[in-house]
Structure 1
Amino acid sequence: MGLTIGIDVGGTKIAAGVVDEHGAIIARTHRDTPADSVDATAAAICDAAAELIANHAVEAVGIGAAGFVSSDRSTVLFAPNLAWRDEPLGARVAKELKIPVVVENDANAAAWGEFAFGAAKDVEHMVCITVGTGIGGGVVIDGELLRGAHGVAAELGHMRVVPGGHRCGCGSRGCFEQYASGKALVREGRAQAESGSLAAVQMLSVCGITDAAELTGPMITDAAVQGDPCAVELLDDLGRWLGEGVASLATIFDPTLVVIGGGVSAAKDLIMKSAVQAFEKVLPAKANRPHAPFTLAELGNDAGLIGAADLARRPAVSR
């Protein structure tokens, strides 16, 4: 199959692009996401795709959507930040565009992008962790995307790591993303500042703010890159949680490679070093088990778009 379109549907923006068989984006467009309207969101997706189809010989469309996607890769069962509930998005868009459409979870699509064209393009088994406000990710085993019986496997951010821990947006307590995400980073940074920690007050100064409520994840990352001790410590703690969680995932999936992406990964060695150290320390049977190396993702914000486009040309990949 030749050219396909990848569409990454976010809470505020719909990014679309024409992608060739080598993973190169040759044309782009975008639309705002009318997140509170199912009909308006579908119309915006179709409008963006139609613009690209008008100028390129496109054979299929792949849509990356945040939420649970059915095993037939067509229906969005639930989306936390959009109005989709049992929404037959794939059939709806295909009917309008008169072209095959595949729908995939956005984190799965991003993981596939890294597997097919990015940091994991030379392996057959990988775990991809996307560390942003929350934690997303995907798993590839024997060159196939793991989707599970109902299409909702690999919700890595909601693996429980602390019984009775912090309440998560999913309703449970102690989920992985409550300890190893941008949300966790900000929570801990604000808590330190509000406790009167002089080191945290100094960090706020480096960030150019005085009110802890204004603190953000990118601010902490930038402060750490500048060498602020409190910010460095916060990222070190996040990296430790990340590494310990990945150690548990490694015992289940036995990956060749662990790929770390998302906004927090901009800290690079400030998070990767502590993540690898924690992983090596707590990995079960570590003396007798191969240790998967860690690497940073390569495709950035385009991973989901590229991955969705490629999955549209690979109907046998996800089952």
Structure 2
Amino acid sequence: MNKNNILAIDLGGTSAKVGIIDFQGKVLFNFIVDNQIDNILQNLFQKIMEKLKEQKISYQELECVGFSTAGFVDHQEGIVKIAGNLNWFDFNLKEEAEKIFQKKVIVLNDANAAALGEFWIGSGKKYKSVLFYTLGTGIGGAIIINGNLVEGQHGYAGEFGHGGDMQHDIDCNCGLKHCIEPTTSAVGLSKAIKLYWKKHPQDSTIKYFKNPQNVEMVDIARVYFENNNPQDLKELIIKIYKPLLNHMALMIKALDPEAILIGGGGSKMGRALLDIISCGLKPLILPIYFKDLKLETAQLGNDAGIIGAAYFAKKIIEGE
């Protein structure tokens, strides 16, 4: 086992993805640990040590720990300011994890980690400047300009899902009312489309679904493909995605990226989703921005977070 391998952890609300990643971005070994919500770090360390022992991997030979987690994260200090699903508020993850893991721990936000993974060896590797949107349970984001992650003053850059006056249909769990997340995340799209049908019971798109009030994102994607991308359903998704599209248009104008990468559950619509976003964006940005802009879906799936956490740790280790 090479000393330059990194233990990477991508911590979610119910489980953690764990991997051993080499300095070229190859996943050498990975597994999942279920969280004990009242004993997250100690349980995680114990389960990791058990797995490494099973695989005859020497923990002592690992370089460091790259740790990605949901929430607002101060990357410099390694402090998780807010992560409601983990019940962490002003939690010094770096300090507490270093006590348990007895290695240098480097912490970043999970959406930033996924973006860096894609940028390193995934769909973003051919670009220098990208915007990354994750359309999952919520909306995460990241900004990479000229090869560098834009962290912001406090590490909060890329929290695209919250703030602003974007929509007035569904209040956000963050406490604000008009965020893009409640209607345009993968979960939000299904909520918003059902609300739209409730207000417009004669809408032509209802006919595609056997149980319209039980529709989820996966059903929308399936029906869209099975019916050969029907124009009325496409137009409805664009209408619901308008807050997200407005957000993208503003970010494109401000940052002039080469590409937008889409990850999360929503990205499983693949080229169809990219076509919907492209059609919706075109009227919102000047042709000079639009003509060279590339849209891509993420390639790395569930490994993006651990690969990106390893990349972030690698860059810091190499810079020391």
Instruction: Sort the TM-score into its range (normalised by shorter chain).
Output: 0.7 to 0.9
User: What is the deviation of 1:74?
Assistant: 1.4
Contact 1:162 1:173 in 2 (8 A): no
Structure 2: segments with no counterpart, 5+ residues: none
CA RMSD of aligned residues (A): 2.6
1:310 aligns with 2:311: yes
- Shifted more, 68-77 versus 112-121: the winner is 68-77
| 1:300 and 2:294 correspond | no
CA distance in 2, matches of 1:138, 1:158: 13
1:237 deviation in Å? 3.6
1:29 aligns with 2:34: no
- Of 64, 73, 80, the residue aligned with 1:76 is 80
Distance 1:289 1:220 in 2: 27
* Distance of 1:216 and 1:288 partners within structure 2: 33
Q: Residues 159 and 142 of structure 1: is their aligned pair in 2 closer, same or farther, counting only changes over 3 Å? A: farther
**Pairs within 5 Å for 1:106-121:** 106-121=110-125
SS of alignment partner, residue 156 of structure 1 = coil
> Does the CA-based 8 Å contact 1:258-1:295 persist in structure 2?
yes
Q: 1:253 to 1:200 in 2, by over 3 A?
A: same
Match of 1:157, SS? coil
1:196-217 C-alpha deviation (Å, 9 max, x unpaired): 3474553331xxxx471x3222
**Equivalences for 1:108-147 in 2 at 5 Å?**
108-147=112-151
Query: Retained in 1: the 8 A contact 2:183–2:192?
Result: no
Aligned to 1:43: 42
| Residue matched to 2:217 | 217
2:130 touches 2:261 (CA, 8 Å); kept in 1?
Answer: yes
> What TM-score results when the alignment is normalised by the length of structure 1?
0.87
Report how far residue 17 of structure 1 moved: 0.7
2 CA distance for matches of 1:185 and 1:30? 28
How far 1:146 sits from its partner (Å)?
0.9
In 2, the alpha carbon distance for the partners of 1:138 and 1:204 equals 34
Q: What is the aligned residue count?
A: 309
The residue type equivalent to 2:209 in the other structure is L
Shift of 1:286: 3.4
Amino acid at match of 1:24: K
For the 8 Å contact 2:234–2:276, the answer to whether it is kept is no
Q: Please, which moves more after superposition, 166-175 or 306-315?
A: 166-175
Contact 1:203 / 1:223 at 8 angstroms: preserved in 2? Answer: yes
Give the corresponding residue for 2:94: 90
- Residues 1-319 of structure 1 aligned to structure 2 (within 5 Å): 2-35=4-37, 37=38, 40-51=39-50, 54=53, 55-56=57-58, 57-162=61-166, 166-195=170-199, 196-197=201-202, 199=204, 201-205=206-210, 210=211, 212=213, 214-227=214-227, 229=230, 232-238=234-240, 241-283=243-285, 285-287=286-288, 291-315=292-316
Cα distance change, pair 122–159 in 1 and its aligned pair in 2 (3 A)? farther
Give me the whole-angstrom Cα distance separating, in 1, the residues matched to 2:182 and 2:101. 40
Aligned residue type for 1:42: L
Shift of 1:62: 0.9
Q: What percent identity do the matched residue pairs reach?
A: 28
Larger deviation, residues 256-265 vs 188-197: 188-197
In 2, Cα distance between the equivalents of 1:53 and 1:304? 20
CA contact (8 A) 2:117 2:305 kept: yes
TM-score, length basis structure 2: 0.86
